[in-house]
Structure 1
Amino acid sequence: MNSVDLDQAIACLKQGNVLAYPTEAVWGLGCDPAQQQAFEKILKLKQRPIEKGVILLSESIARIEPLLSILDPDIRQQVVASWQNSNDQQRATTWLLPIQPAIPTWIYGKHDRVAIRVTQHPLCQQLCAAFDGMVVSTSANPAGSTPAKTAQQVANYFSGQISILSGNLGHSPEPSRILDAVTGQLIRA
């Protein structure tokens, strides 16, 4: 198993490699969202079509403010409150937000929204802050397989093809729920 610390994880992301890391509920695969070849590595590892899109993870609301600024003020407050009032002991919320030009097309696939989660998981917060940007977040498993709940499961799925950031899962029993900020529709309960 190719375990790395936070500094090595940041180097991995900057070099265009794929990183596995613990999130609120399952292990995730991530990369620098601006590096298309890194993103394509994730798709290949997961055997996932580009059309599906992925989540972008941030440690702070301030980092994603440009994505929130075009929302209706009441909706914006609902989105912000869902992140501010959460903690790593409960289920996270991912919001589908209107696409901005700064978001690469490969991130949102065939969709007209981009999925964003402001994480309360301490290690994910450290990862995004140290990287100084959002990080791709998609479950660490090949398509059709159960998402990894341990670093060993990640290693079994991807046998030495990725680096694994040492750490613990959060305490959420399920992956994030997903809501559309424009329509209010619950996409994943």
Structure 2
Amino acid sequence: MDTELLQATDENIEKAAHLLSQGKVVAFPTETVYGLGANALQKEAVEKIYQAKGRPSDNPLIVHVSSINMLRDLLYPNAIPPIYERVISKFWPGPLTILVPKPSNIPDIVTAGQNTLAVRLPAHEIARKLIEKCGFPLAAPSANTSGRPSPTLAAHVFEELGGRIPAILDGGSCDSGLESTVLDGIRNPPAILRPGGATLESLLQEIPNLLVYRKDFVDKSLEQAPSTPGMKYRHYTPNATVIVVERTENNDQLALIRDQFVKYPKEKIGVLKTGLSAKFDLEIDLGDTCDMVARNLFSGLRDMEKLGASVIIVQGISEKDEGLAVMNRLRKAAKYCIT
């Protein structure tokens, strides 16, 4: 199969929408990462997402809508749960996914058989235009091979899915760089199941009793039968050994990083820095603020892999703001976390 790389003009958005209406899959940009979309109402179309990615069938998908009215129509005759009214008003469109009761017109394959549906309204204009042009919601996980770092450029998608999908809409670099926050307001108390672009600090202003999965509580049933992506399987992993040097109040990150060079004398080691002034032979500076690191993390892992690093050491950051999502992704990618 030839994969067309389409600049996201109005004409090409129309072309991509036509492909999606035919039950095909198309990669498209969002403000978080590139998604691999298919008609969320059509089982056969959604199956092509799993086939292209090599994604396990028990890993559910997030559904993207172009407006709150599209979500209301999707859920009808039920309404959007009232707990979400304030967060939707503040965070949509944007990098926040909510869990709602699964409507009957959504195929089981989308939710991996669970009774909840993960859904969001993306902030990216191209994504919303595409969904609006389709007239139906799009199921869309990240547009990469399952388990790999998520793509933040159309080129990343082409490298992995070229030849597997018919088209990629190129909308440039993604602004956020990390996937959306997943909020389960149906639970009591409500919980963030996956941290992302909508930060814990900002969500706590709207939901004061909000918990964070794996930080405030653990629920083994969520790992056995996940209700949202990113909970069961190892993710975000390049073709290299990833070692994360965590940031704590007392540790010396530079000394710990240098220790790894002693432990792996025969490996080609690359360092992803997040504020260190020390220089390394092979290094990429991700930035020294949480939002910069979030934006550059996945591309940094991919670039370091291309540079031939067999070991990638990442300088961890504080878990404040976007740092919570950054460290969540790094711990999933890492073979070792060092404190």
- The TM-score, its normalising length taken from structure 2, stands at 0.51
Task: Look at both structures and tell me which one has the larger radius of gyration over its CA atoms.
Answer: 2
Computed over aligned residues only, the root mean square deviation of the Cα atoms, in angstroms, reads 1.8
Report the equivalent of 2:192. 186
Cα distance in 1 for partners of 2:122, 2:21 equals 21
| Deviation for aligned residue 1:23 | 0.9
| Deviation for aligned residue 1:25 | 1.8
Residues 7/149 of structure 1: CA separation in 2 closer, same or farther (3 Å cut): same
Cα distance in 1 for partners of 2:63, 2:34 equals 14
Report the equivalent of 1:23. 30
Name which of 124, 138, 144 aligns with 1:141. Answer: 144
Name which of 53, 57, 60 aligns with 2:60. Answer: 53
Residues 100/125 of structure 1: CA separation in 2 closer, same or farther (3 Å cut): same
* Alpha carbons 1:17, 1:31 under 8 Å: kept: yes
| Deviation for aligned residue 1:79 | 4.1
Are 2:118 and 1:115 aligned?
yes
| Deviation for aligned residue 1:33 | 1.5
Cα distance in 2 for partners of 1:19, 1:72 equals 31
* Alpha carbons 2:30, 2:123 under 8 Å: kept: no
Residues 136/50 of structure 1: CA separation in 2 closer, same or farther (3 Å cut): same
* Alpha carbons 2:101, 2:116 under 8 Å: kept: yes
The one-letter amino acid paired with 1:43 is Y
The one-letter amino acid paired with 1:55 is I
Residues 15/130 of structure 1: CA separation in 2 closer, same or farther (3 Å cut): same
- The TM-score, its normalising length taken from structure 1, stands at 0.88
Structure 1 spans left out of the alignment, 5+ residues: none
Cα distance in 1 for partners of 2:17, 2:194 equals 30
Report the equivalent of 1:3. 5
* Alpha carbons 1:83, 1:119 under 8 Å: kept: no
Report the equivalent of 2:129. 126
The one-letter amino acid paired with 2:89 is A
Cα distance in 1 for partners of 2:131, 2:91 equals 16
The one-letter amino acid paired with 1:80 is I
Q: Which has the higher contact order (CA 8 A, sep 6+)?
A: 1
Are 2:125 and 1:81 aligned?
no
Report the equivalent of 2:69. 62
Deviations 1:12-36 (A, max 9, x none): 1011111001111211100111222
Name the count of aligned residue pairs.
Answer: 183
Identity of matched residues, %: 29
Residues 70/46 of structure 1: CA separation in 2 closer, same or farther (3 Å cut): same
Residues 72/141 of structure 1: CA separation in 2 closer, same or farther (3 Å cut): closer
Cα distance in 2 for partners of 1:177, 1:52 equals 17
Residues 72/6 of structure 1: CA separation in 2 closer, same or farther (3 Å cut): closer
Residues 81/16 of structure 1: CA separation in 2 closer, same or farther (3 Å cut): same
**1:85-104 equivalence runs, <5 A:** 92-104=95-107
Structure 2 spans left out of the alignment, 5+ residues: 7-11, 196-339
Name which of 139, 152, 155 aligns with 2:155. Answer: 152
Deviations 1:113-164 (A, max 9, x none): 1000011110011011111111111001111111112111111101222210
SS of aligned partner of 1:187: strand
